[in-house]
Structure 1
Amino acid sequence: MDSIIVWSIIFVLIVLFAYYATRMARRDPDGEGLHDFGFALIEFGRAFPNEAIRELHGTADGSAIFVRLHDGKTGIMRSHAKHYTCHLIRPGRVRVQGLEDPRGFSADFLDSPGNNGEFVFRTEAEAAEVSLWLLGNYIASADRSAADEAG
């Protein structure tokens, strides 16, 4: 009889420990950064179901993910506690400026000022690649304007 009580107590302690451990793992007390790119893919797919994602780069703190699409477009996803806001960047509608830290830049999104901010990546190469994506968007806009004037 004593062994049944002991095993019951051990079982209850294991269940409580498992419950507590899973609740703490899901918690994000700062409300900052969903670092799960899989979740980001799902959210972006919901927001833009006709866009195929080619590549993702997230900031070092997980507050933003930049998305490179199959046709050369670029998008940004900002983390807000338990969800992302997704924005497709229109060509020529972003201004980028370097920071003193070579791993980052500041960006002003003319169509969605709520996404403005400073973005610091894990490596300098990631920051350079994302800034080139944004520059590609800007060049694409200039090419379209030149083609419209010529044609």
Structure 2
Amino acid sequence: MAVVYYVRRLSSGRDEDGSRYDPGLAILEFGRAFPNEAIRSLHVTADGGAIFVRLHGNKAGFMKSHRNHFACHLIHPGRVRVQPLTSAKGFTVEFLDSPTQSGTYVFDTEKEAAEVSLWLLDNYVAIAERDEGEGAPAAGLSSDPAS
């Protein structure tokens, strides 16, 4: 009976291509990597290969799936560039602090892609406003392909 439960549990989280997305595992792994960060929401790409993490305090995180574990990192304000795709369901991200995680990410819906890009922008704008008060120039997020 235990074998049946284990097999059923493993197969229930599999997509048609055999990959797994387990939100509980994602939350645990991000919590292990960054125990002082409070997760507000998770946004999974269409293929389940990456998760954008919205955190409290206008912070953001990113998780890339590597089969049975995730590579986690915080997205520091001003250290990410986002370029829209011609299809509105995704965008290309350049992580300046973690270039190996950069890439093109597509979501299930245009609404989800817009939401993620907006809170990435909010993360950037919040730090830009703070820097503006300190007299430092802001850099990073751009929706203009020429920049």
CA contact (8 A) 1:120 1:127 kept: yes
For residues 64-92 of structure 1, give each alpha carbon's deviation from its aligned partner in whole angstroms, at most 9, with x where no partner exists: 01111111100000001110011100000
Sequence identity percentage: 58
The normalised TM-score by structure 2 is 0.80
Structure 2 residues without counterparts, runs of 5 or longer:
137-147
Superposition RMSD in Å: 2.7
Paired residue type of 1:35: Y
CA contact (8 A) 1:32 1:81 kept: no
Structure 1 residues without counterparts, runs of 5 or longer:
1-13
Paired residue type of 1:122: D
Equivalent residue of 1:71, what SS?
A: coil
Aligned to 2:48: 62
Do structure 1's residue 48 and structure 2's residue 34 form an aligned pair? yes
How many residues are aligned here? 134
Equivalent residue of 1:34, what SS?
A: coil
For residues 73-115 of structure 1, give each alpha carbon's deviation from its aligned partner in whole angstroms, at most 9, with x where no partner exists: 0000000111001110000000000111110000000000011
Aligned to 2:65: 79
Deviation of 1:141 after TM superposition, in Å, equals: 2.6
- Rg (Cα) greater in structure: 1
CA contact (8 A) 2:58 2:126 kept: no
The normalised TM-score by structure 1 is 0.78
Deviation of 1:121 after TM superposition, in Å, equals: 0.4
When you count helix as a share of all residues, which structure comes out higher?
A: 1
